Amino acid sequence: MEAVTQLLKPATDYWLLTDRFKDIEGFLEPIEGYALHTMAAFGPGKGEIVEIGSLYGRSTCYLASGSARNGRGGVYAIDTFKGSKEHQVGEQGEQTAIATDGSTLKIFLQNIATHRFDEKVKPIVNESSKAASEWSKSIRLLFIDGDHSYEGTRKDFLDWSPFVPESGLIAFHDVTTWDGVTQFYNEISQLDEWKEVLAVGTIRVIQRLPHGESE
C-alpha cells in the first residue's frame, strides 16, 4: 500500500490546494495553479519568483504555497492593480472592484493575508516596464500574465527575460485563448535559446538552454 499512497499523493495535494484557494477570484484554472505551485516548489535553479499580473492573487497564492513548501524564496507580484483593458467598466470582463474602487489591490492584500502569505509575497505596485528598469535580481521562475496583447506580451518578455539564467523557467498564461499571447509564444518558443518543457491547460513553459546547447 505504500506505493499506492505515494502515487495518490499528487492527487491529494491537487485537491487540497484547489479547495484552499477556491475563494480567490481569478481566471486561473486549478490544474494551472497546481502547475505553478509545483514549479515554485521543485523547479530548477536559484533566484526569485516574479509574476507579471496578479489581479486578486490566485496565481500569487499558488506560487507562494509552492515556494513555502520547500522553504524557497519569496514571490514578487508586479501589477498596477488597475486591471487590463478587458477589466474596465463596460468591457466584457468588467470587474466590480475596478468599477467601484478603481483597483483590486485591497482585495489582493486581503487574500494574501487570509492565506498567511504576508511574509512570502512582496507586491510591487507599478507598471511592468518601470518595475523591470529597477530590478537587478536573478529570476528562477517568471510568470507572464499581464497585458495580453502581442506587443504587451513581447515587451514583458524582453524586459524581464534577461534576468532569467540558464535552466530558468518562463511561464505564459492564456496561450491558445488570447491571440496576442499565442502569437508571441509561438514565435519565442521556436528560438534555439529556449525549449518548451511543460504545457498544462493554457499555460506554456519554456526553459533557457545552456549557452551553445539547442535541440
Res. 66: pLDDT tops 90: yes
pLDDT > 70: percent of the chain? 98
| pLDDT (0 to 100) of residue 115 | 97
Q: Which three cell numbers stand for residue 100?
A: 467601484
27 residue type, one letter: F
DSSP 3-state assignment of 78? strand
Mean pLDDT, range 3-22, rounded to an integer: 90
Which range has the worst mean pLDDT, 88-102, 136-150, 152-166, 190-204?
Answer: 88-102
Q: Which residues contact 71 (CB under 8 A, 6 or more apart)?
A: none
Give dist(CA 60, CA 57) in Å, integer: 5
Give dist(CA 117, CA 183) in Å, integer: 34
Q: Which domains does the chain show, CATH number per domain?
A: 41-208 (3.40.50.150)
Question: Is this model's pTM higher than 0.85 or not?
Answer: yes
Res. 28: pLDDT tops 90: yes
pLDDT in tens, 112-138: 999 999 999 999 999 999 999 999 999
| pLDDT (0 to 100) of residue 215 | 53
pLDDT in tens, 185-212: 999 999 999 999 999 999 999 999 987 5
Give dist(CA 125, CA 105) in Å, integer: 9
Mean pLDDT, range 55-78, rounded to an integer: 96
Kindly report the length of the chain.
215
pLDDT > 90: percent of the chain? 80
Q: Which of the four pLDDT bands, split at 50, 70 and 90, describes residue 14?
A: very high
| pLDDT (0 to 100) of residue 33 | 98
Res. 12: pLDDT tops 60: yes
DSSP conformation class of 47: S
Give dist(CA 12, CA 6) in Å, integer: 10
